[in-house]
A and B are shown apart, each in its own frame.
Chain A
Amino acid sequence: MRQSERVAVFAVLAPQGLWSLAWSRLCRDTLGLIALGVVVMYLAVVLAAAAGWIAKDWSHEAGVNYAPPNGWIFSASPSEDRLPVARESIQVTPVAGVVDPLAPVIETLRESRLALAQEPQRLATLPLGADKWGRDVALKTLKGTQTSFIVGLLAAFLSVLLGSLLGAYAGYFGGIVDDVLNWIYSTFTAIPYLLLVLAIAAVLNQKGISTVILILGLTGWTGVFRLMRAEYMKHRNREYVLAAESIGASHARRMFYHILPNVSHVLLVQLSLNVVSFMKSEVILSFLGFGVGVDTVSWGSMLNEAQTELLLGKWWQLASATLAMALLVTAFSVFTDALRDALDPKLK
């Protein structure tokens, strides 16, 4: 109560800008702040993983195959399905005069096996268990978070850049420019989103993080375009824009120096909406094998492995990827709602 009074007093003393007002509104939204905290935490993990400080050796086979989680977060009884295989050794009696041509090869193989046995022992359990090859699921989840988050963020930036640029031109200039851009818009929206994504994936026919970012960014700009077009149509004849025109500001300067800051709150909300939806799309694409390559781990590729693992009763990779994704997406959605409420209190 007292804080809001203080805010009110400040508002009288010194006029506050949109952003500081929005920030003070956001600060009063506890749930939104918690969500922001979670998102920032994820961002820190992603930056650390991208810098190579954590989860660098995620592809190292640290545990035994399907090592169960050790009970810190999940617990599972160690699997008993690895039955010891009874080995029969065949006695070979050397025959005089016959030379085994493979003898030296077998000798080197034996030696390399001995050398292998001296490597550090693989762990029987890991914090979140291990996958088919014994790779640590915890590290895979961290690295997968990096992939999925970065894809979502960069694709969202690309789509917002494209959408706002086209939307600004359509809304500001109107006329034939608007007609042409609107035509492109209605063409893109007539094709269902995921079908378009799949069609582009089919023609590009190459995997990799940059391909996924490109696909999602090039298809996801339509929502931003529609909103930005409406905003620019609203703003282009406002007095401040006319004033800028009268002192000789060019079209580009009016569009991106004068109007853009006044509509950027719309962009911010759209950006975070797109991050969420692109992360979900990336997971689906990678799951289907049209997304990131096999040398990269993402939540989608983890889920793909988890599907067959589940039949063997190895549920920890599924649980880890699902939890990591659900937490981030929930936090991001809650934060987006809080952001929208903070930036546009009239909407509530």
Chain B
Amino acid sequence: MIEFAEAVLSEDTARLMAARQAIHDTLGADAVVDSAGVAALFNAIDRIADSTGAPLEADKAEMTAGLRAEIGIDAFAAQKEALDLGAAETAAE
């Protein structure tokens, strides 16, 4: 599953073919369709969230605080703040 997610977002056609075949061989043809559907949907929904600034719900943030810190998701938010700060400083110069 993880290999398929990574492959579908990459430009490596051979890797994607192999990942697709692995899902087919282990879970069947319908699983290929559903895996493609989910990966593709989240590739789109991420763009909605990130371009409109959709905030994480407070209850979800609280429930996942430890996990988010552990796997480094919090760093993405800090990176955004740094980018805005950098852009502001550049504009002021």
Q: Real complex partners, A and B?
A: no
- Chain A residues in the interface with B (C-beta under 8 A): none
